[in-house]
Structure 1
Amino acid sequence: MSSEIQETLLQSVEAFHSSQLIKNKYENILEHLDSGIILFDREGVLTFINVQMAKLLEVSRKSLTGCTLQQILRHPQLSRFNKKKILRIYREAIFHRKKYHELSDESGRQWLLTVTYGEQMDGDFLFSVKDVSDFKQIEQTAYRNDKLAMLGKISASIAHEIRNPLTAIRGFIQLLRPHLVKLGKDEYARIILMEIDRANDIIYEFLNSSKPSAPQTTVIAVSSLLKEVVLLTESEALMKGCEVVLHDEAKPLHISVDVKQIKQVILNIIKNAMDAIEELGPEHEGIIEIRTRADQNSVNIQISDNGKGMDHNTLTRLFDPFFTTKESGTGLGLSVSYRIIKNHRGYISVDSKCGYGTQFIISLPTVEAQEG
């Protein structure tokens, strides 16, 4: 009898240890997930928080465990920004029963928060947060490419429809020109023809901008290309109260590019930087710095300025066709630049913050990488 009791007790102890090991194993997995996890019980007390969530909130796990929502919102180490986010999520999750939330942090990264509750949770509320910035970037790139493709088709159609009547008008004016000469009105014919030609040039530029032609590549030293660009922009920069500084790379780097197109991209970025500096007023000492850096099989051209910078909403739409913050802008410059760099098998990125300036990075494959 006693041996049976001992055996039963031993089995119970083994079962307890086994369940404890399984519990510890799963808790360890939850603690080290790349997603942030936080759990509140039915009384509103925080019973579990993993390492990632504590990092996101920038507060120690120990100081948060056992706290109610009110105590968390009064936590001295929790930033005001995070307190506002937590309160907003709580209201939407508890009162509006919203299960999914998209958030952006102070650095502009995108997060997806999921709330799980109901009978299966036995009254508990589970909040999980995952960084979806990369997925958002892919989504925006796909959306941007679709818009650019549509823009190319629309612009080609518009250009064709406008060019036809302009060609006819030009022909008739030339036929009428001898009669206008007799009437002493040759100047009228000259002006009409000049304006028709100007309209054709605008249409051509728009068409070329919305759908850049295939690159006609030439091997060129990056330093040589950038020196030419600096020479082209120096006088305008001085007029707008800023300086363009080129920090030349000691090691010679060569790229195979359509020189005209890449110049167009760099000039467009520098001109935008000048405008951003000019908006801060004549007393602001503006500086635009250009640097190059070799990065494995590519070269990075970094263009930074100390202008007014951009907010997150502007950054997310920066390369969209027709998006502009300028009164006289077309919104095509950066969308075209994006397409040109993509056609060169490179990429363009931007980092900016209001009051701290902007930095563009253009990455292009080196000649050695293209040959390989």
Structure 2
Amino acid sequence: MLREYQEGLLLSARSFQSGILDTTYENVLEHIDSGIMLFDEEGVLSFINNQMYGILELKRHALVGCTFLNLLTHIQLSRFRKRRLLSIYRETVYKGKQSHEFADEFGRYWRVTVSSGEKMNGHYLFVIKEISDYKLIEQTAYQNDNLAMLGKLSASIAHEIRNPLTAIRGFIQLLRPHLHQLGKDEYAKIILAEIDRANDIIHEFLTSSKPSVPQVGVIPVSVLLKEVVLLTESEALMKGCEIHLHPFSDELNISVDVKQMKQVILNIIRNAMEAIPERDDEYIGKVEIGARRNGAEVRIFISDNGKGMDICTLDRLFDPFFTTKENGTGLGLSVSDRIIKNHGGCITVNSRVNEGTSFIISLPLIQ
């Protein structure tokens, strides 16, 4: 079907070249769900359809007869669109690629297909189509594969490592009185602490594979957030950050597993503090926390004025094993996302490079 579609476009292009474009073909090209531009051998635009005008965010103008350079200097074309067109030209015409994929400023994915060569008599036919739905399916399949692999890995780790660690910990506790008599009790403390840390890592793998069923209880959002802020204030002070909890008058109650919900919020706050760069000027890192009611939902927001994230990072933010930290596991946000979904909620993220990041956790409101 795709081949027939492309052949139809090529047939239409040949009709343009010969000057005998049929009205039926013109109507088809005007109303298909792809943007189309046709440039002749001199680089002059000979046809552009309505969909392409919409993609370029231009009103219907007499662009036919313009060169590619005229299009790049069009007064009503945004700077982002000009850069994108130039990138498409570089990847397709200059480098000779038949297709090129990119993401726009709104996170939508597009594919550009170029037809040229002898059959086109020197003409260039550009076809642009949004492929966000296909990308979403592809990413979902990729994530499911990762989760399946993660489950097998977690089970293997739990079986091969956890049992020996438990035995080691037991023997160290038996030897601890003897080490204390020798004045080496700190060795036992270090060994036990490292064993516990290894167990925590294993537990994180297991949780990311299959988070436990929430043990829910009703709690006011204000109480939950105050407790989390108390847990992070000292850490924020050490990193030179300020944590500001916005007051809210509404009595907002949620039914959640308090331990799991604290884990999610603490993880996001710590990520926010790590995203705030260290500076010598008067710049002060801030983490803003608050909540508000939105219909039948409670929305908890956590925002920072850190370095922000680009679109590529945002697209993979909740993927297992994806991390931008040197010592990160890439599991924190993946686990957090699954915990929130298990509570019937969702997490959304807004971020811009050098402007900061804002997480919004939406949960059902308990009346």
TM-score, structure 2 as length reference: 0.78
Alpha-carbon separation, structure 2, partners of 1:241 and 1:213: 35
Partner of 2:234: 235
C-alpha displacement of 1:347: 1.8
1:206 matches 2:201: yes
C-alpha displacement of 1:330: 3.3
Q: What SS does the aligned partner of 2:61 have?
A: helix
Say if 1:101 and 1:113, in contact at 8 Å, map to a contact too.
yes
C-alpha displacement of 1:102: 0.6
- Letter of the 2:203 counterpart: N
C-alpha displacement of 1:296: 4.0
Pair 246,65 (structure 1): closer, same or farther in 2 beyond 3 Å: farther
Partner of 1:310: 309
Pair 115,206 (structure 1): closer, same or farther in 2 beyond 3 Å: same
Structure 1, unmatched stretches of 5+, are 1-18
Alpha-carbon separation, structure 2, partners of 1:251 and 1:172: 53
Partner of 1:332: 331
Pair 223,36 (structure 1): closer, same or farther in 2 beyond 3 Å: farther
Q: What SS does the aligned partner of 1:165 have?
A: helix
Partner of 1:260: 259
CA shift digits 1:27-84 (9 cap, x unpaired):
6635xx4x43333345533233334422433444415222122322343443454334
Map residues 183-202 of structure 1 onto 2, 5 A cutoff.
185=182, 187-188=183-184, 190=185, 193-202=188-197
**What is the percent sequence identity of the aligned residues?**
59
Say if 1:298 and 1:364, in contact at 8 Å, map to a contact too.
yes
**Worse-matched range after superposition: 120-129 or 40-49:** 120-129
Say if 1:102 and 1:110, in contact at 8 Å, map to a contact too.
yes
Map residues 154-303 of structure 1 onto 2, 5 A cutoff.
154-170=153-169, 180=178, 185=182, 187-188=183-184, 190=185, 193-210=188-205, 211=207, 212-281=211-280, 283-303=282-302
C-alpha displacement of 1:349: 2.0
Say if 2:98 and 2:114, in contact at 8 Å, map to a contact too.
yes
1:29 matches 2:26: no
C-alpha displacement of 1:354: 1.2
Q: What SS does the aligned partner of 1:358 have?
A: strand
Alpha-carbon separation, structure 2, partners of 1:240 and 1:172: 38
Alpha-carbon separation, structure 1, partners of 2:158 and 2:107: 39
Say if 2:296 and 2:364, in contact at 8 Å, map to a contact too.
yes
Say if 1:155 and 1:206, in contact at 8 Å, map to a contact too.
no
CA shift digits 1:293-333 (9 cap, x unpaired):
33444322221111121222322332233333333433332
Pair 338,195 (structure 1): closer, same or farther in 2 beyond 3 Å: same
Say if 2:349 and 2:360, in contact at 8 Å, map to a contact too.
yes
Q: What SS does the aligned partner of 1:264 have?
A: helix
C-alpha displacement of 1:201: 2.0
Q: How well do the aligned residues superpose, as a CA RMSD in angstroms?
A: 3.4
Pair 286,251 (structure 1): closer, same or farther in 2 beyond 3 Å: same
Q: What SS does the aligned partner of 2:112 have?
A: strand
Partner of 2:63: 64
Say if 2:285 and 2:305, in contact at 8 Å, map to a contact too.
yes
Partner of 1:150: 149
**Worse-matched range after superposition: 80-89 or 154-163:** 80-89
C-alpha displacement of 1:348: 1.4
Alpha-carbon separation, structure 2, partners of 1:292 and 1:244: 14
**Worse-matched range after superposition: 137-146 or 352-361:** 137-146
Alpha-carbon separation, structure 1, partners of 2:52 and 2:290: 37
Alpha-carbon separation, structure 2, partners of 1:168 and 1:48: 75
C-alpha displacement of 1:111: 1.6
- Letter of the 1:209 counterpart: E
C-alpha displacement of 1:258: 0.8
Partner of 1:16: none
Alpha-carbon separation, structure 2, partners of 1:45 and 1:303: 51
Partner of 1:6: none
Pair 200,239 (structure 1): closer, same or farther in 2 beyond 3 Å: closer
Say if 2:31 and 2:51, in contact at 8 Å, map to a contact too.
no
Partner of 1:75: 74
Pair 251,233 (structure 1): closer, same or farther in 2 beyond 3 Å: same
Q: What SS does the aligned partner of 2:274 have?
A: helix
Partner of 2:358: 359
Pair 137,222 (structure 1): closer, same or farther in 2 beyond 3 Å: farther
Alpha-carbon separation, structure 2, partners of 1:191 and 1:156: 33
Alpha-carbon separation, structure 1, partners of 2:173 and 2:276: 48
1:46 matches 2:48: no
Say if 2:169 and 2:195, in contact at 8 Å, map to a contact too.
no
Structure 2, unmatched stretches of 5+, are 1-21
Pair 24,160 (structure 1): closer, same or farther in 2 beyond 3 Å: closer
